[in-house]
Structure 1
Amino acid sequence: MTSLRKFSICVSVLIIVSVSATIAAKLPQDWIKCSLTKNEAEDCLGNAVEYAISHLKSGAPDLTIASLEPLLIPSLTIGAGTGPVNVDQRFNDIKLHGLTGSKVLTGSADLENNVMFAQSITPVLRLEANYEMNGRILLLPIQGTGLCNITLINTAINHTLHTEMIQKKKKDFLNIKEYTVTLRPEKVIFHFDNLFNGDKRLGDEINRVMNENQEEVFADVRSGYERSFGLIFQDLANRVFSRVVIKDLFLD
Protein backbone atom coordinates (compact mmCIF):
# COMPACT_ATOMS: atom_id res chain seq x y z
CA MET A 1 0.00 0.00 0.00
CA THR A 2 1.23 3.52 -0.73
CA SER A 3 2.09 5.26 2.53
CA LEU A 4 0.00 8.30 3.44
CA ARG A 5 2.29 11.20 3.00
CA LYS A 6 5.50 21.21 15.09
CA PHE A 7 5.11 24.25 15.53
CA SER A 8 6.19 26.45 18.48
CA ILE A 9 3.24 27.29 20.70
CA CYS A 10 2.51 28.20 24.28
CA VAL A 11 0.47 25.12 25.12
CA SER A 12 1.02 21.95 27.12
CA VAL A 13 -1.44 19.12 26.53
CA LEU A 14 -1.40 15.57 27.92
CA ILE A 15 -4.61 13.66 27.37
CA ILE A 16 -5.70 11.12 29.96
CA VAL A 17 -6.63 8.06 27.92
CA SER A 18 -5.85 4.62 29.29
CA VAL A 19 -3.79 2.72 26.71
CA SER A 20 -1.97 -0.57 27.05
CA ALA A 21 1.76 -0.64 26.31
CA THR A 22 1.44 -3.51 23.83
CA ILE A 23 1.22 -2.35 20.22
CA ALA A 24 -0.66 -5.00 18.28
CA ALA A 25 -4.43 -4.59 18.39
CA LYS A 26 -7.49 -4.82 16.15
CA LEU A 27 -10.13 -2.25 15.41
CA PRO A 28 -13.50 -3.05 16.98
CA GLN A 29 -15.35 -5.29 14.55
CA ASP A 30 -18.23 -2.88 14.04
CA TRP A 31 -16.02 0.08 13.07
CA ILE A 32 -16.21 1.09 9.41
CA LYS A 33 -13.21 0.39 7.17
CA CYS A 34 -12.63 2.24 3.89
CA SER A 35 -10.74 1.68 0.68
CA LEU A 36 -8.30 4.51 0.03
CA THR A 37 -8.93 4.67 -3.70
CA LYS A 38 -9.91 8.28 -4.39
CA ASN A 39 -13.62 7.91 -5.16
CA GLU A 40 -14.34 5.38 -2.42
CA ALA A 41 -12.31 7.30 0.20
CA GLU A 42 -14.31 10.47 -0.28
CA ASP A 43 -17.58 8.59 0.15
CA CYS A 44 -16.47 6.48 3.11
CA LEU A 45 -13.89 8.26 5.27
CA GLY A 46 -16.27 10.85 6.73
CA ASN A 47 -18.73 8.18 7.82
CA ALA A 48 -15.95 6.02 9.25
CA VAL A 49 -14.45 8.84 11.33
CA GLU A 50 -17.82 10.01 12.64
CA TYR A 51 -18.77 6.45 13.61
CA ALA A 52 -15.46 5.94 15.44
CA ILE A 53 -15.74 9.26 17.33
CA SER A 54 -19.31 8.62 18.42
CA HIS A 55 -18.46 5.13 19.67
CA LEU A 56 -15.56 6.42 21.75
CA LYS A 57 -18.17 8.06 23.97
CA SER A 58 -18.14 4.91 26.06
CA GLY A 59 -14.54 3.97 25.24
CA ALA A 60 -13.07 1.21 23.10
CA PRO A 61 -12.13 -1.80 25.26
CA ASP A 62 -10.43 -3.57 22.34
CA LEU A 63 -8.04 -0.62 22.10
CA THR A 64 -7.98 -0.07 25.88
CA ILE A 65 -9.16 3.53 25.35
CA ALA A 66 -11.23 4.97 28.17
CA SER A 67 -14.40 6.98 27.64
CA LEU A 68 -13.97 10.27 25.83
CA GLU A 69 -17.12 11.82 27.30
CA PRO A 70 -15.81 13.88 28.86
CA LEU A 71 -12.26 13.97 27.56
CA LEU A 72 -9.88 14.64 30.47
CA ILE A 73 -6.91 16.95 29.90
CA PRO A 74 -4.56 17.77 32.80
CA SER A 75 -3.53 21.23 31.61
CA LEU A 76 -3.18 23.66 28.74
CA THR A 77 -2.15 27.27 28.32
CA ILE A 78 -3.52 29.71 25.75
CA GLY A 79 -1.05 32.53 25.20
CA ALA A 80 -1.98 36.20 25.07
CA GLY A 81 -3.48 37.45 21.84
CA THR A 82 -2.06 40.28 19.76
CA GLY A 83 -5.19 42.46 19.97
CA PRO A 84 -7.84 42.96 22.65
CA VAL A 85 -7.00 39.83 24.69
CA ASN A 86 -3.68 40.52 26.42
CA VAL A 87 -3.79 37.75 28.98
CA ASP A 88 -2.37 34.24 29.36
CA GLN A 89 -5.12 31.72 30.09
CA ARG A 90 -3.94 28.74 32.13
CA PHE A 91 -6.34 25.82 32.57
CA ASN A 92 -5.99 22.74 34.78
CA ASP A 93 -8.10 19.62 35.45
CA ILE A 94 -10.00 20.14 32.21
CA LYS A 95 -13.13 18.26 31.20
CA LEU A 96 -13.95 18.64 27.51
CA HIS A 97 -17.57 17.72 26.80
CA GLY A 98 -19.28 17.22 23.44
CA LEU A 99 -16.45 16.03 21.20
CA THR A 100 -18.15 12.69 20.56
CA GLY A 101 -21.22 14.50 19.21
CA SER A 102 -19.25 15.79 16.21
CA LYS A 103 -20.71 15.31 12.74
CA VAL A 104 -18.21 14.72 9.93
CA LEU A 105 -19.33 16.46 6.75
CA THR A 106 -16.54 15.40 4.36
CA GLY A 107 -13.41 13.28 4.37
CA SER A 108 -10.72 12.66 1.77
CA ALA A 109 -7.15 11.41 1.39
CA ASP A 110 -4.34 12.68 -0.86
CA LEU A 111 -2.22 9.55 -1.13
CA GLU A 112 0.54 11.11 -3.20
CA ASN A 113 1.21 13.81 -0.60
CA ASN A 114 0.36 11.74 2.50
CA VAL A 115 -2.36 14.09 3.69
CA MET A 116 -5.88 13.47 4.96
CA PHE A 117 -8.61 16.11 5.14
CA ALA A 118 -11.94 16.32 6.94
CA GLN A 119 -14.60 18.87 7.73
CA SER A 120 -16.79 18.49 10.80
CA ILE A 121 -19.22 20.39 12.97
CA THR A 122 -19.64 20.02 16.72
CA PRO A 123 -22.99 21.28 18.07
CA VAL A 124 -21.77 21.98 21.62
CA LEU A 125 -18.16 21.84 22.77
CA ARG A 126 -17.82 22.73 26.44
CA LEU A 127 -14.58 23.19 28.37
CA GLU A 128 -14.86 23.06 32.17
CA ALA A 129 -11.69 23.69 34.14
CA ASN A 130 -9.85 25.45 36.90
CA TYR A 131 -8.32 28.62 35.49
CA GLU A 132 -5.76 31.29 36.31
CA MET A 133 -5.37 34.53 34.39
CA ASN A 134 -4.11 38.05 34.84
CA GLY A 135 -4.05 40.73 32.17
CA ARG A 136 -6.43 42.82 30.07
CA ILE A 137 -9.41 42.03 27.86
CA LEU A 138 -10.81 44.82 25.70
CA LEU A 139 -8.58 47.25 27.67
CA LEU A 140 -10.28 46.18 30.91
CA PRO A 141 -8.10 44.64 33.65
CA ILE A 142 -8.95 41.04 34.46
CA GLN A 143 -7.53 38.68 37.06
CA GLY A 144 -8.83 35.66 38.86
CA THR A 145 -8.51 32.01 39.73
CA GLY A 146 -11.31 29.48 40.08
CA LEU A 147 -13.72 27.52 37.94
CA CYS A 148 -14.61 28.42 34.37
CA ASN A 149 -16.88 27.26 31.57
CA ILE A 150 -16.17 28.08 27.92
CA THR A 151 -18.79 26.80 25.48
CA LEU A 152 -18.42 26.81 21.69
CA ILE A 153 -21.69 26.50 19.76
CA ASN A 154 -21.96 24.89 16.29
CA THR A 155 -18.22 24.88 15.70
CA ALA A 156 -17.14 24.17 12.12
CA ILE A 157 -13.73 22.48 12.13
CA ASN A 158 -11.39 21.86 9.22
CA HIS A 159 -8.90 19.05 9.87
CA THR A 160 -5.62 18.52 7.99
CA LEU A 161 -3.56 15.45 8.93
CA HIS A 162 0.01 15.06 7.65
CA THR A 163 0.91 11.39 7.89
CA GLU A 164 3.82 9.00 7.55
CA MET A 165 4.36 5.25 7.75
CA ILE A 166 6.59 3.93 10.52
CA GLN A 167 7.72 0.42 11.44
CA LYS A 168 7.57 -1.21 14.84
CA LYS A 169 8.59 -4.82 15.31
CA LYS A 170 8.60 -5.22 11.50
CA LYS A 171 4.97 -4.06 11.25
CA ASP A 172 3.78 -0.96 9.40
CA PHE A 173 1.84 1.67 11.32
CA LEU A 174 0.38 5.04 10.41
CA ASN A 175 1.63 8.06 12.35
CA ILE A 176 0.14 11.55 12.37
CA LYS A 177 3.18 13.82 12.41
CA GLU A 178 1.16 17.05 12.24
CA TYR A 179 -2.52 17.76 12.81
CA THR A 180 -3.83 21.25 12.13
CA VAL A 181 -7.35 22.56 12.63
CA THR A 182 -9.33 25.72 12.08
CA LEU A 183 -12.18 26.53 14.48
CA ARG A 184 -15.17 28.62 13.43
CA PRO A 185 -17.83 28.62 16.18
CA GLU A 186 -21.13 30.40 15.60
CA LYS A 187 -21.01 31.63 19.18
CA VAL A 188 -18.78 31.40 22.24
CA ILE A 189 -20.11 31.67 25.80
CA PHE A 190 -17.63 32.58 28.55
CA HIS A 191 -18.12 32.24 32.29
CA PHE A 192 -15.35 32.71 34.86
CA ASP A 193 -16.08 32.34 38.57
CA ASN A 194 -14.19 34.20 41.29
CA LEU A 195 -12.85 37.06 39.19
CA PHE A 196 -11.20 39.83 41.22
CA ASN A 197 -11.08 37.63 44.34
CA GLY A 198 -14.82 37.02 44.26
CA ASP A 199 -15.99 40.60 43.69
CA LYS A 200 -19.42 39.75 42.21
CA ARG A 201 -20.07 43.15 40.70
CA LEU A 202 -16.76 43.32 38.84
CA GLY A 203 -16.91 39.64 37.92
CA ASP A 204 -20.41 39.88 36.48
CA GLU A 205 -19.40 42.99 34.52
CA ILE A 206 -16.34 41.35 32.94
CA ASN A 207 -18.30 38.20 32.05
CA ARG A 208 -20.97 40.40 30.46
CA VAL A 209 -18.44 42.39 28.44
CA MET A 210 -16.71 39.23 27.19
CA ASN A 211 -19.98 37.67 26.08
CA GLU A 212 -21.27 40.84 24.43
CA ASN A 213 -17.98 40.94 22.48
CA GLN A 214 -17.49 37.18 22.20
CA GLU A 215 -16.64 37.20 18.50
CA GLU A 216 -13.84 39.74 18.90
CA VAL A 217 -12.55 38.17 22.12
CA PHE A 218 -12.39 34.64 20.68
CA ALA A 219 -10.92 35.79 17.35
CA ASP A 220 -7.90 37.23 19.13
CA VAL A 221 -7.01 33.92 20.82
CA ARG A 222 -8.39 31.61 18.14
CA SER A 223 -4.94 30.49 16.98
CA GLY A 224 -4.04 29.32 20.49
CA TYR A 225 -7.20 27.24 20.72
CA GLU A 226 -6.63 25.84 17.21
CA ARG A 227 -3.10 24.74 18.08
CA SER A 228 -4.31 23.21 21.34
CA PHE A 229 -7.11 21.28 19.65
CA GLY A 230 -4.71 20.15 16.92
CA LEU A 231 -2.47 18.60 19.56
CA ILE A 232 -5.46 17.00 21.29
CA PHE A 233 -6.76 15.47 18.05
CA GLN A 234 -3.27 14.35 17.02
CA ASP A 235 -2.80 12.55 20.30
CA LEU A 236 -6.19 10.83 20.04
CA ALA A 237 -5.60 9.70 16.45
CA ASN A 238 -2.16 8.33 17.24
CA ARG A 239 -3.54 6.43 20.23
CA VAL A 240 -5.37 4.29 17.68
CA PHE A 241 -2.87 4.35 14.82
CA SER A 242 0.06 3.40 17.06
CA ARG A 243 -1.69 0.14 17.98
CA VAL A 244 -3.41 -0.99 14.79
CA VAL A 245 -1.26 -1.98 11.80
CA ILE A 246 -2.02 -0.17 8.54
CA LYS A 247 -3.32 -3.27 6.78
CA ASP A 248 -6.01 -3.60 9.46
CA LEU A 249 -7.08 0.07 9.25
CA PHE A 250 -8.24 0.10 5.62
CA LEU A 251 -9.70 -2.20 3.03
CA ASP A 252 -7.35 -3.43 0.31
Structure 2
Amino acid sequence: MKHLVVAFATVSCICALSHPDYIKPCHIKKPDFNKCALEHGNYAIPYLVKGDKQRGVPKMNPMKLPLVEVVESNFRLAMKDLSVYGLENSSLTDIKMNQTYLDLTFHADRLMFIGQYEVDGKILFLSLQGSGPCNLTSVGGNFRFVSVLQEYTEGKETFVKFNKPTMDYTLERAYFYLENLLDSGDQQIGIDINRILNENWEDVLKDIDVPLKETVTTVVESVVSKILRNIPAKNIFPD
Protein backbone atom coordinates (compact mmCIF):
# COMPACT_ATOMS: atom_id res chain seq x y z
CA MET A 1 0.00 0.00 0.00
CA LYS A 2 1.39 3.34 -1.01
CA HIS A 3 0.17 6.80 -0.06
CA LEU A 4 1.46 10.09 -1.40
CA VAL A 5 0.65 13.60 -0.26
CA VAL A 6 1.96 16.79 -1.84
CA ALA A 7 0.75 20.12 -0.44
CA PHE A 8 1.15 23.46 -2.20
CA ALA A 9 1.23 26.98 -0.80
CA THR A 10 -0.83 28.32 -3.69
CA VAL A 11 -4.43 29.23 -4.44
CA SER A 12 -5.86 28.56 -7.89
CA CYS A 13 -7.49 31.38 -9.81
CA ILE A 14 -10.71 30.26 -11.47
CA CYS A 15 -11.48 33.53 -13.24
CA ALA A 16 -11.18 33.96 -16.99
CA LEU A 17 -8.02 35.86 -17.88
CA SER A 18 -6.30 36.92 -21.04
CA HIS A 19 -3.35 34.69 -21.86
CA PRO A 20 -0.03 35.97 -20.48
CA ASP A 21 2.37 37.78 -22.79
CA TYR A 22 5.15 35.30 -21.98
CA ILE A 23 3.14 32.43 -23.50
CA LYS A 24 3.70 32.84 -27.24
CA PRO A 25 1.61 30.69 -29.60
CA CYS A 26 2.94 28.65 -32.48
CA HIS A 27 0.94 27.76 -35.58
CA ILE A 28 0.05 24.07 -35.36
CA LYS A 29 -0.09 23.56 -39.15
CA LYS A 30 3.40 24.87 -39.80
CA PRO A 31 6.18 22.27 -40.25
CA ASP A 32 8.43 23.99 -37.70
CA PHE A 33 5.78 23.84 -34.96
CA ASN A 34 7.86 21.74 -32.51
CA LYS A 35 10.92 23.93 -33.05
CA CYS A 36 8.80 27.01 -32.41
CA ALA A 37 7.28 25.45 -29.27
CA LEU A 38 10.75 24.64 -27.92
CA GLU A 39 11.98 28.19 -28.55
CA HIS A 40 8.90 29.81 -27.02
CA GLY A 41 8.94 27.40 -24.09
CA ASN A 42 12.46 28.42 -23.16
CA TYR A 43 11.46 32.06 -23.55
CA ALA A 44 8.67 31.54 -20.99
CA ILE A 45 10.77 29.80 -18.31
CA PRO A 46 12.28 32.95 -16.69
CA TYR A 47 8.79 34.46 -16.42
CA LEU A 48 7.21 31.29 -15.03
CA VAL A 49 9.95 30.90 -12.42
CA LYS A 50 9.11 34.38 -11.10
CA GLY A 51 5.52 33.21 -10.60
CA ASP A 52 2.21 34.60 -11.78
CA LYS A 53 0.07 35.39 -8.75
CA GLN A 54 -2.93 36.42 -10.85
CA ARG A 55 -3.09 32.94 -12.39
CA GLY A 56 -2.14 30.97 -9.29
CA VAL A 57 1.30 30.01 -10.64
CA PRO A 58 3.66 29.81 -7.65
CA LYS A 59 7.00 31.54 -7.43
CA MET A 60 9.69 29.02 -8.22
CA ASN A 61 12.93 30.73 -7.23
CA PRO A 62 12.65 28.96 -4.87
CA MET A 63 9.50 26.90 -5.17
CA LYS A 64 7.83 26.33 -1.79
CA LEU A 65 6.27 22.97 -0.91
CA PRO A 66 4.79 22.89 2.62
CA LEU A 67 4.56 19.08 2.70
CA VAL A 68 5.68 16.11 0.65
CA GLU A 69 4.85 12.79 2.28
CA VAL A 70 5.46 9.26 0.99
CA VAL A 71 4.05 6.26 2.85
CA GLU A 72 4.65 2.67 1.80
CA SER A 73 4.15 -0.61 3.67
CA ASN A 74 7.30 -0.33 5.77
CA PHE A 75 8.55 3.14 4.97
CA ARG A 76 7.44 6.71 5.66
CA LEU A 77 9.22 9.88 4.60
CA ALA A 78 7.75 13.32 5.24
CA MET A 79 9.51 16.48 4.08
CA LYS A 80 8.13 19.76 5.38
CA ASP A 81 8.68 23.39 4.44
CA LEU A 82 10.68 22.42 1.37
CA SER A 83 12.38 25.07 -0.73
CA VAL A 84 13.37 23.93 -4.23
CA TYR A 85 16.31 25.86 -5.71
CA GLY A 86 17.66 25.73 -9.26
CA LEU A 87 14.56 25.79 -11.48
CA GLU A 88 15.58 29.22 -12.79
CA ASN A 89 18.56 27.55 -14.48
CA SER A 90 16.56 24.81 -16.19
CA SER A 91 15.88 24.63 -19.93
CA LEU A 92 13.72 22.70 -22.34
CA THR A 93 15.75 20.43 -24.59
CA ASP A 94 13.03 18.71 -26.62
CA ILE A 95 9.31 19.07 -27.38
CA LYS A 96 7.00 16.94 -29.51
CA MET A 97 3.48 18.27 -29.41
CA ASN A 98 0.13 18.25 -31.16
CA GLN A 99 -3.44 19.00 -30.10
CA THR A 100 -3.81 15.74 -28.14
CA TYR A 101 -0.27 14.86 -27.03
CA LEU A 102 2.70 16.47 -25.32
CA ASP A 103 6.18 14.97 -24.91
CA LEU A 104 8.77 17.32 -23.44
CA THR A 105 12.16 17.03 -21.80
CA PHE A 106 13.85 19.63 -19.64
CA HIS A 107 17.34 19.75 -18.20
CA ALA A 108 18.32 21.08 -14.79
CA ASP A 109 22.02 21.37 -13.93
CA ARG A 110 21.35 21.27 -10.19
CA LEU A 111 18.19 21.10 -8.09
CA MET A 112 18.36 21.42 -4.30
CA PHE A 113 15.50 20.42 -1.99
CA ILE A 114 16.08 21.95 1.45
CA GLY A 115 13.73 21.61 4.40
CA GLN A 116 12.83 19.48 7.41
CA TYR A 117 12.31 15.72 7.29
CA GLU A 118 10.88 12.85 9.31
CA VAL A 119 11.70 9.28 8.34
CA ASP A 120 10.75 5.89 9.74
CA GLY A 121 11.36 2.65 7.85
CA LYS A 122 13.78 0.71 5.68
CA ILE A 123 15.71 1.83 2.62
CA LEU A 124 18.49 -0.27 1.11
CA PHE A 125 19.41 -2.54 4.04
CA LEU A 126 19.15 0.28 6.57
CA SER A 127 16.48 0.87 9.19
CA LEU A 128 16.14 4.63 9.34
CA GLN A 129 14.50 6.78 11.96
CA GLY A 130 15.01 10.43 12.67
CA SER A 131 13.98 14.02 12.06
CA GLY A 132 15.74 17.28 11.35
CA PRO A 133 17.13 19.37 8.49
CA CYS A 134 17.57 17.76 5.09
CA ASN A 135 19.19 18.59 1.76
CA LEU A 136 18.50 16.45 -1.30
CA THR A 137 20.36 17.48 -4.45
CA SER A 138 20.17 16.26 -8.05
CA VAL A 139 22.93 17.01 -10.55
CA GLY A 140 22.68 16.85 -14.36
CA GLY A 141 19.02 15.90 -14.42
CA ASN A 142 17.03 15.23 -17.58
CA PHE A 143 13.29 14.95 -16.92
CA ARG A 144 10.90 13.72 -19.61
CA PHE A 145 7.15 14.24 -19.28
CA VAL A 146 4.52 12.66 -21.51
CA SER A 147 0.89 13.70 -21.22
CA VAL A 148 -2.44 13.52 -23.01
CA LEU A 149 -3.89 16.91 -23.91
CA GLN A 150 -7.65 16.88 -23.55
CA GLU A 151 -9.99 19.65 -24.68
CA TYR A 152 -12.94 20.71 -22.53
CA THR A 153 -15.49 23.51 -22.73
CA GLU A 154 -16.20 26.01 -20.00
CA GLY A 155 -18.73 28.72 -20.77
CA LYS A 156 -18.23 29.69 -24.39
CA GLU A 157 -14.51 28.85 -24.50
CA THR A 158 -12.61 25.65 -25.17
CA PHE A 159 -9.53 24.96 -23.03
CA VAL A 160 -6.83 22.28 -22.92
CA LYS A 161 -6.26 20.01 -19.93
CA PHE A 162 -2.85 18.56 -19.05
CA ASN A 163 -4.03 15.03 -18.28
CA LYS A 164 -2.34 12.02 -16.63
CA PRO A 165 1.33 12.99 -17.10
CA THR A 166 4.05 10.39 -16.65
CA MET A 167 7.75 11.03 -16.03
CA ASP A 168 11.09 9.38 -16.64
CA TYR A 169 14.42 10.85 -15.60
CA THR A 170 18.15 10.37 -15.60
CA LEU A 171 20.64 11.95 -13.21
CA GLU A 172 24.39 12.26 -13.34
CA ARG A 173 24.47 12.22 -9.54
CA ALA A 174 22.31 12.61 -6.45
CA TYR A 175 23.33 13.65 -2.94
CA PHE A 176 21.49 13.10 0.34
CA TYR A 177 21.97 14.77 3.69
CA LEU A 178 19.64 13.88 6.57
CA GLU A 179 20.71 15.39 9.87
CA ASN A 180 20.10 13.61 13.18
CA LEU A 181 19.45 10.17 11.72
CA LEU A 182 18.43 7.60 14.35
CA ASP A 183 17.79 10.55 16.70
CA SER A 184 21.19 9.74 18.15
CA GLY A 185 23.49 12.09 20.00
CA ASP A 186 26.38 10.33 18.26
CA GLN A 187 26.98 12.46 15.15
CA GLN A 188 29.30 9.83 13.68
CA ILE A 189 26.39 7.41 13.24
CA GLY A 190 24.52 9.92 11.12
CA ILE A 191 27.66 10.72 9.13
CA ASP A 192 28.22 7.03 8.40
CA ILE A 193 24.61 6.44 7.30
CA ASN A 194 24.62 9.48 5.02
CA ARG A 195 27.89 8.25 3.53
CA ILE A 196 26.28 4.86 2.75
CA LEU A 197 23.26 6.55 1.16
CA ASN A 198 25.49 8.72 -1.02
CA GLU A 199 27.79 5.89 -2.03
CA ASN A 200 24.71 3.90 -3.13
CA TRP A 201 22.66 6.80 -4.50
CA GLU A 202 21.46 4.91 -7.57
CA ASP A 203 20.06 2.09 -5.41
CA VAL A 204 18.42 4.63 -3.09
CA LEU A 205 16.64 6.19 -6.07
CA LYS A 206 15.46 2.76 -7.22
CA ASP A 207 13.90 2.19 -3.79
CA ILE A 208 11.96 5.48 -3.95
CA ASP A 209 11.51 5.59 -7.73
CA VAL A 210 7.71 5.37 -7.91
CA PRO A 211 6.85 7.90 -5.17
CA LEU A 212 9.57 10.23 -6.44
CA LYS A 213 8.07 10.23 -9.93
CA GLU A 214 4.57 10.72 -8.53
CA THR A 215 5.74 13.67 -6.45
CA VAL A 216 7.42 15.44 -9.37
CA THR A 217 4.53 14.81 -11.78
CA THR A 218 2.05 16.13 -9.20
CA VAL A 219 4.04 19.36 -8.91
CA VAL A 220 4.40 19.74 -12.68
CA GLU A 221 0.74 18.91 -13.35
CA SER A 222 -0.37 21.52 -10.81
CA VAL A 223 1.77 24.30 -12.30
CA VAL A 224 0.93 23.51 -15.95
CA SER A 225 -2.79 23.18 -15.18
CA LYS A 226 -2.83 26.64 -13.57
CA ILE A 227 -1.40 28.12 -16.75
CA LEU A 228 -3.59 26.25 -19.23
CA ARG A 229 -6.88 26.85 -17.42
CA ASN A 230 -6.69 30.54 -18.35
CA ILE A 231 -5.59 30.21 -21.99
CA PRO A 232 -8.23 29.26 -24.59
CA ALA A 233 -7.20 26.43 -26.89
CA LYS A 234 -7.44 28.74 -29.90
CA ASN A 235 -4.61 30.84 -28.43
CA ILE A 236 -2.40 27.78 -27.88
CA PHE A 237 -3.03 26.20 -31.28
CA PRO A 238 -3.88 29.02 -33.69
CA ASP A 239 -4.56 27.96 -37.27
Q: Provide the secondary structure at the position in 2 that maps to 1:203.
A: helix
Q: 1:16 maps to which residue? A: 9
Counterpart of 2:159? 173
Q: Does residue 52 in structure 1 map to residue 44 in structure 2?
A: yes
Q: Note closer, same or farther for the CA distance 1:41–1:17 as it changes in structure 2 (3 Å cut).
A: farther
- Residue 223 (str. 1) matches residue 215 (str. 2): no
Q: Could you say what secondary structure the match of 1:197 adopts?
A: coil
Counterparts of 1:100 and 1:188, CA distance in 2? 19
What RMSD in Å do the two structures reach over aligned CA positions? 2.1
Q: CA distance change for structure 1 residues 62 and 92 in 2, over 3 Å: closer, same or farther? A: closer
- What is the SS of the residue equivalent to 2:159? strand
| CA–CA separation in structure 2 for the residues paired with 1:178 and 1:37 | 25
Tell me which residue corresponds to 2:113: 127
Identity of aligned residues (%): 22
Distance 1:54 1:137 in 2: 37
**Structure 2 equivalent of residue 147 of structure 1:** 133
Q: After the TM superposition, which of the residue ranges 181-190 and 55-64 deviates more from structure 2? A: 55-64
Residue 26, structure 1, aligned to residue 18, structure 2? yes
Instruction: Give the whole-Å Cα distance in 2 for the aligned partners of 1:48 and 1:90.
Output: 36
Cα distance change, pair 93–49 in 1 and its aligned pair in 2 (3 A):
same
Cα distance in 1 for partners of 2:235, 2:151 equals 14
Q: How many residues align?
A: 238
What SS does the aligned partner of 2:208 have?
helix
- Match for 1:93 among 81, 87, 109? 81
Q: What is residue 107 of structure 1 aligned with on the other side?
A: 95
* Pair 53,17 (structure 1): closer, same or farther in 2 beyond 3 Å: farther
Cα distance in 1, alignment partners of residues 89 and 97 from structure 2 = 23
Counterpart in the other structure of 1:117: 103
Structure 1 residues 15 and 93, CA gap change in structure 2 (3 angstroms): same
Instruction: Give the secondary-structure state (helix, strand or coil) at the position aligned to 1:146.
Output: strand
Structure 1: gaps (5+ residues): 1-7
Specify the alignment match of 2:233 in structure 1: 246
TM-score (norm 1): 0.86
Partner of 1:5: none
CA distance in 2, matches of 1:143, 1:167: 49
Please point out which of 65, 70, 73 is paired with 2:65.
73
| CA 106–145 in structure 1, closer or farther in 2 if over 3 Å, else same | same
Asked if the contact 1:16/1:71 (under 8 Å) is kept, the reply is no
Higher mean displacement: 163-172 or 27-36: 27-36
Cα separation, 2, equivalents of 1:38 and 1:223: 38
TM-score by length of 2: 0.90
SS of the residue aligned with 1:208?
A: helix
Distance 1:34 1:15 in 2: 31
SS at match of 2:80: strand
SS at match of 1:177: strand
CA–CA separation in structure 1 for the residues paired with 2:127 and 2:237? 53
Cα distance in structure 2, aligned partners of 1:110 and 1:29: 21
Contact 1:27 1:63 in 2 (8 A): no
